[in-house]
Homo-oligomer: A and B are copies of this chain.
């Protein structure tokens, strides 16, 4: 199983860089939040609606967008007036600490106290790779089926906050919200779970509060 060994070496080097980033940002009074979830779970739509909220001072928040090739998501952030850097992994399925380090070097951090990293859509490697963040938010959705916490336990076990998105579609699916909450809590008893419908800007108050509080 060569790849797994290789990944372990990469992970150990990666974690060193992540630790350095985490410390340096903390010393500057900046916290970094890693936004994770499956492709299409609604990560960027959550950010779009939360960051457009007038309660938030947009001049203190920056976004690092991760994507394989495009800058579609960075365009969405730029439209709402958020300072944004696009990282393109050119095919890699997750952000790594050295990529984030390069992004941070190009980002004007003057006046910034919160950086949000909108990671690649992936439930596996994005959870395995530290990027130097101080907190993880996982966006899941009711259209993904109930088996995801059990099938991708590391993602849900390491999240500080889980947002269950697309609550408007839940009545048209066989998704069981109570079971999802209970499965996530079994993996991660201290996690905060919030239900929302991001594109309708419903249920996003806890995320606004999270970004507003320093």
Partner-B contacts on A (CB < 8 A): 1-4, 6-7, 10, 13, 38-40, 42, 67-70, 72, 90-93, 96, 98, 120-125, 128, 141, 143-145, 147-148, 150-154, 166, 168-169, 172-174, 199
B39 and A91 contact, CB distance less than 8 A: no
A89 → chain B closest CB, angstroms? 8
11 A-B residue contacts at CB 8 Å? A3-B10, A6-B6, A39-B144, A40-B141, A40-B145, A42-B145, A69-B151, A120-B124, A122-B124, A172-B172, A174-B199
Q: How far is the CB of A145 from chain B (nearest CB, A)?
A: 5
Known: A122-B124, A124-B93, A125-B93. A39 touches B151 (CB 8 A): yes
Complex formed: what's the CA distance from A151 to B67 in Å? 7
Rounded to whole Å, the gap between the CB of A92 and the closest CB of chain B is 6
How far is it, in angstroms, between the C-alpha of A39 and the C-alpha of B141 when the chains are bound? 11
Query: Which residues of B have CB within 8 Å of A91?
Result: 4, 124, 128, 154
Which residue in B96, B98, B151, B173 is a CB contact (below 8 Å) of A68?
B151
Residues of B within 8 A of A169 (CB): 143, 169, 172-173
